[in-house]
Homo-oligomer: A and B are copies of this chain.
Amino acid sequence: MNTKRQQHNPKPPTAADFLIASRQCELMNLQYFLQMGKVVQSISNLVHGLQRERGASNVFLGSGGEKFADEREAMIDESDRLAELFEQALAEVQEALTAHPVSSHLLNHLANALHGLQQLPALRSQVAAQAVSAAEATEAYGGRIQALITVVFEAADTAVDPSLAGLLVAMVHLMNGKEFCGQERAVGSAGFSSGSFETALSKRMTHLVEAQERCFEVFVSFADDDSRALWQTLRSHERETEIERLRQLGCSVGRYKTLDSGLADRWFALMSERMDELKKVEDAVEGSFHTRCVERFAEARNSLAHQETLIASLDEQNPPAQPLLVLCDSGDDARSGEAWKSEGVGQQFGRSIFDLVQEQTRRLQQMTDELQSAKEALEDRRTQEKAVLLLMEHRKIDNNEAHRVLRKLAMDQGKKLPEVARALVSMADVLK
C-alpha cells in the first residue's frame, strides 16, 4: 500500500492526498477487524468454557461435592487453556489496539474482562471448599462472562462497515441469549434438584426465558442466512419441545407439589446440549464475519490501489507546478465548467478526480445510513440496561422485577420495549 503521500510532505497537501487517506482510513478499520475477529472468536470459546465450568461447579455444589468433581477439574483446565488463547489473541492485536486506539470504552472493558479472569482462581478455590452457594457461584461466573461479552459489544460499536457491524450485533445478542440460557440452566437445576420452584425461582426463570427470546429476535434480524438457517434447525429440534415441557412443569406444577428430582439431570443434559448447539451457531456467525472481513478488505485495498494508480498518472500529466484540480468541474456551477473547457486541457482527468471525491462522499453517506440500524440495536440495548438500573434504584427492586416492570409498561402502552426504555431514561432527572 503506497503511503508515501501520507509521510511528512514539503508541498502542501492536495485533495488527492486526503481522498486516499479517507480510503486508507476505511482499510485500517477493516484490517483492525480482521484481528478483532480472532479476539471475538477466542471470547466466544472462553465464554463457552466458563459456562460449562459454571454448570459443573453448580452440580458439584448442589450435590455436596459428590457429583462432577472430576468433570469440574477437567473443565477448569479447559477454561484455563481457552483463557490463554484469549490472552494470546489479545497480545496479537494489542499493538494495533494501543497504537491506533479505536475506543477508550473497548480498551477499558478489555481491562475489566482481564481483571475478572484473574479472579477465577480465588472463585474456584471457594467452590472447591464449598464456601459458596450454587447461586453465588453462578452470579460470580456470570459477572466474568458478562465482562467478556461486553468486549464484543464495544467492538461492534467500533465497526464502520455496515455488514460487519450487523454481524457483530447478531453475535453479541446470540452470546447474550446463550448466557441467559446458561443462567436458566442453573436456575432450573436448582429447582429440579430441590424438587420445587418457589415463587422467586420461577419468576427468575420466566425472566430468563423472556430475556433469551428478545436477544434471539435481534440475532435473527441481523444474522447472515447460513447462521439463521442453523439457528432454525436448532429451534425445530425435538429437544426444544422437551425443554419447553420441563419449563412449564417447573414453573407451574413445581410451585405446588414436589417434583421427581431425577428431572434435574435430564434438564441439565438438555440445556447443556442446547448451549453446545448455540455455540455452533456462534461459530457459524464468526465464520461469516471472517469471510466478510476478508472480502471487504480485499475490495477496499483494490479500490485504494486503483485510485492511487489513477491519481499518480494524473500527477505525471499535471506537474505540481500547475495546480492539479483547477481543471475540475465542481458540478455546483455548471458554467464554470464551461469556462474551463475553453481552456481545453485535462478535462477528463479533472472530471475523474472530482468524480472520485463525489463517489467517496456518496459511498460514505450510504455506509452511514446502512450502519444506523446496527447502531440503533446497540443503543436500544444500552438504553434498556440504563432503564432497568433506574427502576432498580428508584423502586428498590431487583433485576428481574425491573425487567418485568419494563415489559409491563411496554405491554400496557402498546409500545416496543426500547421505546418505553428511552422514555423512562429521558425522565430520569424527573424521577430523581
Q: Which of A46-54, A97-105, A239-247, A286-294 makes up part of the contact surface?
A: A97-105
Is the beta-carbon distance between B111 and A19 smaller than 8 angstroms? yes
* Between-chain CB contacts (< 8 Å), 25 pairs: A6-B95, A6-B99, A9-B91, A13-B87, A13-B94, A13-B114, A14-B114, A16-B111, A17-B98, A22-B105, A23-B104, A24-B101, A25-B101, A104-B360, A109-B361, A112-B361, A115-B330, A116-B330, A118-B323, A119-B326, A121-B323, A126-B339, A132-B336, A140-B336, A143-B333
Knowing A21-B107, A88-B12, A97-B21, say if A114 contacts B6 (CB, 8 Å): no
In whole Å, how far is A6's beta carbon from the nearest beta carbon of chain B?
4
A6 contacts which of B98, B119, B330 (Cβ < 8 Å)? B98
Is the beta-carbon distance between B100 and A100 smaller than 8 angstroms? yes
Is the beta-carbon distance between A108 and B143 smaller than 8 angstroms? no
A90 contacts which of B12, B22, B98 (Cβ < 8 Å)? B12
- A125 contacts B by Cβ under 8 Å: yes
Find residues 302-359 in chain A having any chain B CB closer than 8 Å to their own CB. Answer: 323-326, 328, 330, 332-333, 335-336, 339-340, 343, 353-354, 357
- A233 contacts B by Cβ under 8 Å: no
Q: How many residues of A contact B (CB 8 A)?
A: 80
A119 contacts which of B12, B116, B328 (Cβ < 8 Å)? B328
Whole-angstrom CA separation of A332 from B21 in the bound complex: 45
A129-143 vs B, Cβ < 8 Å mask (1 yes, 0 no): 001100010011001
Whole-angstrom CA separation of A83 from B389 in the bound complex: 52
Question: Contact residues of A with B, CB < 8 Å?
Answer: 3, 6-9, 12-19, 21-26, 28, 84, 87-88, 90-91, 94-95, 97-105, 107-112, 114-116, 118-119, 121-123, 125-126, 131-132, 136, 139-140, 143-144, 160, 323-326, 328, 330, 332-333, 335-336, 339-340, 343, 353-354, 357, 360-361, 364, 368
> What chain B residues lie within 8 Å of A119 (beta carbons)?
325-326, 328, 330, 336
Question: Could you tell me the dominant secondary structure of chain A's interface residues?
Answer: helix
Knowing A15-B111, A107-B18, say if A325 contacts B118 (CB, 8 Å): yes
Knowing A6-B98, A6-B99, say if A18 contacts B110 (CB, 8 Å): yes
Is the beta-carbon distance between B335 and A136 smaller than 8 angstroms? yes
Counting chain B CB atoms within 10 Å of each CB, the highest count among A115, A144, A333 belongs to A115
